[in-house]
Amino acid sequence: MSIIVTDSGFGPDTWTGEAPMELASDTDPQTVVAQLPTLEMIRVDFPNSADGRGFTIARQLRLHGYKGRLRARGHVLADQYAMARRAGFDEVEIDEDLAARQLEDQWLFRANWQENDYQSRLRG
C-alpha cells in the first residue's frame, strides 16, 4: 500500500480521477508538452534516492505550464521533500517500508519548504 506525503503529513491515496500519466526518470519532458493541457495528474518515478532527474522533470513540466497534480513516486527521502515541493511536486508517494524508516515527523519537519531554504537565509 502506498502512503501519500503532503505538507499535512501522511495520508491515503485519494486520487479518483483518470489514470495518471507515468513518467520514468529518464523521460524527456518535451515529449509530453503537447498533452499537458489534457492531463489531470502526472506521476514521476524516482527509482532511487540518488537519482534527481525527477526534480528536473517536475520543474520543466511546471515551466511549460502544467497546472495539474504532480506526484513524485518511489524512493524520495524525507530530506528531499522540500526540494520536491520547490521543484513543483504537489505530493510524494512512498511505500510502507520507507514510511516505517522515515517517520511522519521527519517529513513534517520539512513541510515549511517555502520559508526554510538556504537562498532565503542568504538573502536574509
User: Which residue range is the domain that position 104 belongs to?
Assistant: 2-11+19-112
Q: What's the pLDDT tens digit per position in 54-92?
A: 999 999 999 999 999 999 999 999 999 999 999 999 999
Task: Identify whether 80 is part of a domain.
Answer: yes
Task: Identify whether 54 is part of a domain.
Answer: yes
Q: Could you give the 3-state DSSP secondary structure of residue 119?
A: helix
At 117 the pLDDT is: 56
Task: Identify whether 121 is part of a domain.
Answer: no
At 111 the pLDDT is: 86
Task: Identify whether 83 is part of a domain.
Answer: yes
At 1 the pLDDT is: 84
Residue identified by cell 498533452 is: 35
Task: Identify whether 97 is part of a domain.
Answer: yes
Task: Identify whether 124 is part of a domain.
Answer: no
Q: Any idea what the CATH number is for the domain that residue 29 is in? A: 3.20.20.70
Number of domains in the chain: 1
Beta carbons of 29 and 58 less than 8 angstroms apart:
no
Closest CA to 84 of 117, 119, 113, 123: 113
Look up the pTM and report it.
Answer: 0.89
For the chain, the average pLDDT equals 93
State residue 114 phi and psi, 5-degree precision: -75, -25
